[in-house]
Amino acid sequence: MRKLLYILFHFFLRLTLLAVGMIVSVVTYNTLNFTSLQLKVPAVEQPPISDDAVQRLSDAIRFPTVSFPDRIDSSAFRQFKSYVKRSYPLVDSLLQLTTVNDFSLLYKWPGQTQSLQPILLMAHIDVVPVDEKQAAQWTQPPFSGAVTDGYIWGRGALDDKVNIMAVLEAFELLLAQGYQPQRSIYLACGHDEEIGGTNGARAIARRLEQQGVRLEYVLDEGSVIITDALKGLNQPAALIGTSEKGYVTLRLDVHLEEGGHSSMPPQQSAISILTKAVTQLTDHPFPARMNGPIRPLLEQLGPEMEQPFKSIFANLWLFKGAVKQQLAASPSTNAVLRTTTAPTVIEGGFKENVLPTDASAKINFRILPGETIESTISYVRTIIADTRVEVRTENTGFKADPSPVSSTDAFGFQVVQKTCKEIFPQVVAVPALVIAGTDSRHYQPVCDNIYRFLPVHLSKADLKRIHGFDERIGVEAYKDMIGFYRQLLLNSTK
């Protein structure tokens, strides 16, 4: 028996060593063949950008083009339009301008070859309001457009008036040189993106559809160039959004026939039932998925990483669990792994000694491509598993399924990626998932390949400035944006 045990022990030891050896061999082979997918293009020297361009952005920020759910300040939007007309005389005289629903702007620069599908660049005029309580915390007043300490400060410096002005600057530079594009170029500027884009981007897209326009690609705001995107990546990552998450807010309602006095509470009240439901959702997040748009992101970032991260990303078949755990540890990377659950509003009760019969909560979900609003509702009901909790969508709230995933092999992605490498040679330019929503979803009927990328270099701390306080952009970063759009137009329309 002892001899048999000895033989079996050595047999399984050899088998284990053989398996380990095979795994090491496969890991080594995959790592050695995990080579860079980055384009090899030389940097392009850009013409100098005048400080007058900086001043024009500064002036544009001073118009408080705020959109509210029920109104806009029409005077500010009209003043902004007049300012643009005065500031870009070549654009005003040589390009075709259509005003849509009073405040949205659609520019067209006709191309010389009508057989080529046009491209469309997007931005939005409106900005979010400034919380009066936060206004005093701003280093510079939120609508001052102050240029100081190497930055341009104010609402719209990042989201998204900066995009309009940078594209118009690029237009004006090329028009001054007598440039004539081969394909037509559109610039679409919606006026209500921050409240859903119904009267702006959607109306423009419908107009193009009615005219029979089919676009080669669309480029909207979205992801940015970010430092320290992932642990182990030493280069900044230019994240070119190929898709965006869906959006829905679900309302949870609990209605009981009886409330009562707080001195005689039942085992479960409307509030406790609701609280348990919300806790169930936050304790049981949606499954993390590494298929869909995150897979090409990891495949293109991985070869640029230092060891041991390069080997890990080259062998996701072995290390998938560890990578998921690493990504899930940070809110920003966890959001690209799964449909996220965010309780945002909870209501119930009106007096401290009265048990309410009704309680409600609103939960916001950002839906991963591959899932839908309907599958989200089904998952929520399954996790709550309580018929006393009614689950429904908000009747008046915005909702949208995730966008389709645009191709990384298409002309649009390749030209955006190439331009990134030419203007920002130090970056790794990769496809990515945009976790927020943009106006670009409205253009799906007229374009198959929609990309979302704001060509500005930000730190993770800077991301909080978008919709937050102290929104700003570096002066040199803004000049690089203008250079990016100028080069993108040249690359797209030769």
Catalytic annotation, residues: 126, 193
Instruction: Answer whether 478's CB lies under 8 Å from 166's CB.
Output: yes
Of 426, 429, 477, residue with least CA distance to 451: 429
d(CA 319, CA 234): 21
Write out the two tokens for 445: 């009927």
- Please give the single-letter amino acid code of residue 408: T
DSSP 3-state of 132: helix
* Residue 29 amino acid letter: Y
Place of tokens 């191309």: 111
Task: State the Cα–Cα distance between residues 154 and 162, nearest whole angstrom.
Answer: 10
What's the CA gap between 172 and 91, in Å, rounded? Answer: 6
- Cα–Cα nearest to 414, from 449, 448, 457: 449
Angle at 124 between CA 461 and CA 97, to 5 degrees: 150
Write the DSSP symbol of residue 212.
T
Q: Which residue bears the tokens 């104010």?
A: 154
